[in-house]
Amino acid sequence: MSERKMGLIDFVFPKNCFSCNKQGYYLCPTCVTRLKHAPTNCPMCGQYNFQGKTHISCRQKYGMEGKLACYSYRGPIKKALVQMKYHYSYKIAEELARICLIEVKSYTQLINNCVLVSIPTKPRRYNWRGFNQAEIIAKVWSDELNIPYLDNALIKQKSTLPQARLDKAQREKNIKNAFRINAEKQEALNKFENILVVDDVWTTGSTMREAGKVLKRNGAKYVWGITVAG
């Protein structure tokens, strides 16, 4: 998307708080303090576990070690995420990433030698890069928290239906084999002990678990998921 086109979208989409309508923010500082944090659930079974770690009984060979969803996916944060996708808004994505910085920082401080990768949204077309909210979020976290980010480490190799319209079983089937590792990034990936996979929302976790599986099958030691909401 060109700078000019992005500017136009920002112009027609005014910046007002999704909660109180205050100008200048998508989520103003006051409303951010009122957001609910997401429960720390095991990424494999969805039940509570300390720090969102995978229960010992839920561990799998190609399973994830844990996940962090910063905020509960409801209210103004849900509205902001839906509008972000609908309007392809870089600005909303960046602002949402920034309100997660404290949570992401404290989480990643527990994990040494880590790298961020993002969930790809669409199969990569020749010479065309579309709006990818996960990539925008990952870049903000990388820049602000000084964590390396490997772009295009995961490639989407098939088209999928929007996960939101499907039930849990259908989601798993839909996303199965959707990703592969970008061969050009494999060597760089192997240098890190912990891979943190970034996405905007955690719902059933099937997308994240599938990405984790692909990373682990290709030599990743530990895989964690991080999302804005869940």
Q: Which amino acid is at 222?
A: Y
User: Judged by CB under 5 A, which stretch of 29-37, 136-144, 153-161, 202-210 contacts Zn ion?
Assistant: 29-37
| Residues in CB range of 8: below 8 A, 6 or more apart | none
77 binds Zn ion (CB under 5 A): no
Count CB neighbours of 129 within 10 A: 12
User: Judged by CB under 5 A, which stretch of 15-23, 89-97, 102-110, 210-218 contacts Zn ion?
Assistant: 15-23
Among 26, 35, 38, 42, binds Zn ion (CB under 5 A): 42
Contact yes or no for 194/35 (Cβ under 8 A): no
Q: Could you tell me the smallest distance in angstroms from the CB atom of residue 134 to Zn ion?
A: 24
Residues 48-67 that bind Zn ion (CB under 5 A): 55, 58
| Residues in CB range of 89: below 8 A, 6 or more apart | 9, 10, 13, 83
Nearer to Zn ion, 45 or 145 (CB): 45
For the chain, the 3-state helix, strand and coil shares in percent, each to the nearest 5, are 40, 20, 40
Among 1, 20, 145, 188, binds Zn ion (CB under 5 A): 20
Nearer to Zn ion, 139 or 213 (CB): 213
Contact yes or no for 71/104 (Cβ under 8 A): no
Residue ranges that bind Zn ion, judged by CB under 5 A: 17, 19-20, 22, 28, 31, 42, 44-45, 55, 58
